[in-house]
Amino acid sequence: MTIMTLAQCLLNDYTEEELRYWSRFYGIRVGSSKPATLASRIAEKLLDEQEMQQRLVILRDEEAELFEQCMEESQPVSDEQQKAAERLIGTDYAYMTSSGLIVPADVTEAYRKLNTPAFRKQRILTSYLLDCLLFVESVYLVIPLHELMGCFTGRYSILCREEVFDRCWNLIHPDDNPCLRTGDMIISRAASDVAAEILEERGSHIYACPDPGEIRDWAVNGYPSKNSECMHFLEWLKDSGLEHGYAEEVLQHLTEMIAHGTEMEEVLEALKTHMDITEPRFVPAEIRLKALYSSIRSTLLSGAAPADDEADMMRAEGVQGNGEVLYAKTVLEAAKLIEKRPVLERLSYAVQVEKYAETILVAFQRPGQKKTYVKILIFPNDPCPCGSGSPYRECHGRKRS
């Protein structure tokens, strides 16, 4: 196999105009230099130990593992490794060839000198801090410094000293950092102009500190992929004809809007820009979107979920399951009950929806009590609850009969 250098990869991957741009960015005199000369000079800058450390210190464990596998030998990239590969390519130290992902020989040599135990420890801490910052950008927009440190030390509680946090913060290049630090506040760059309004609107609501797995999930996927409602919604988008990649982009967009407190009606309008949800698909779309909205607001933003006050009021009124069977005549009426899911969960009810039944049962149960069922009656000409858009009699109703 031909051993490639970083300069050769740069020459193959960038146009002459791009090489000239990056040369000026690094302060390299361009003049009438040929592309090969420019690529060599840029490679010298990239192989500088300090530059390499700042670019690679934000790699997650799975990305560092893939990086080391590709040293001097190209590796095919699986679907599961695609996101990690894209991030490695973005560092300019890994390149995609016809035989797979490869790390140039001179990068391999420089990385082996850099990859000391101290660097690996710093990489783990810094990459996790960046995940926390990406989570803040996706979910909170504005967060007090001590709250962010609470998220950061949730995984490494022994390393809760502020100097450790500061060192990791300073290692993240401003181009990679999605947030700004202003006094005792951390603000998303995208929200820097409206930070004061966001804080005023948030009022006295506390910030939920999710576990490290949830933080990393949001950072990697752009949405909580382990959330069951997100998975149901993603499957519905794909069943509605959207390709997997585009369906994920739509879900990322909608979950970010929901996390930032956008009203349900605006989120529904945003969904309409991505797909046709006119009748008869409107009702299934509204039901699924309401379930997604309630789940995200109550699970990851439990401290700021709008259902808290309503749950407190229902507790004061002595609301409890009593085994009574309730009936909803239409799917739309049932959607209003499903929308109360976060409130019911706060009242210690378990909520479960049985799919594709002729009568969909939504069961509520408190410990030591009988189940209370909401029975959603599906009539022959109603839209099928699977989201296909066909009448029930022509879809799952036909299969049952």
**For residue 401, what pLDDT is reported?**
41
Higher pLDDT, 8 or 367: 8
Closest Cα to residue 388, out of 228, 238, 227? Answer: 238
Report pLDDT digits (tens) over 307-325.
556 667 777 777 665 555 6
pLDDT higher than threshold 80 for residue 24 = yes
pLDDT for 303 equals: 42
More confident residue, 271 or 283: 271
Q: Quick check: bond before 280 cis, omega within 30? A: yes
Starting at the earlier edge strand, list the strands of the sheet with 185-188. Answer: 142-144, 185-188, 179-182
Confidence of residue 282 (pLDDT cuts 50, 70, 90): low
Burial 259-282 (b: 16+ CB within 10 A, else e): bbeeebeebbebbeebeebeeebb
**Encoded tokens for 194:** 């409206």
Average pLDDT over residues 12-38: 86
Q: Is the pLDDT of residue 157 over 60?
A: no
pTM: 0.71
pLDDT at 279: 60
How large is the average pLDDT for residues 327-335?
Answer: 58
400 vs 372, residue with greater confidence: 372
- Asked whether the predicted pLDDT for residue 264 surpasses 90, the reply is no
Given a cut of 90, whether residue 368 has pLDDT beyond it is: no
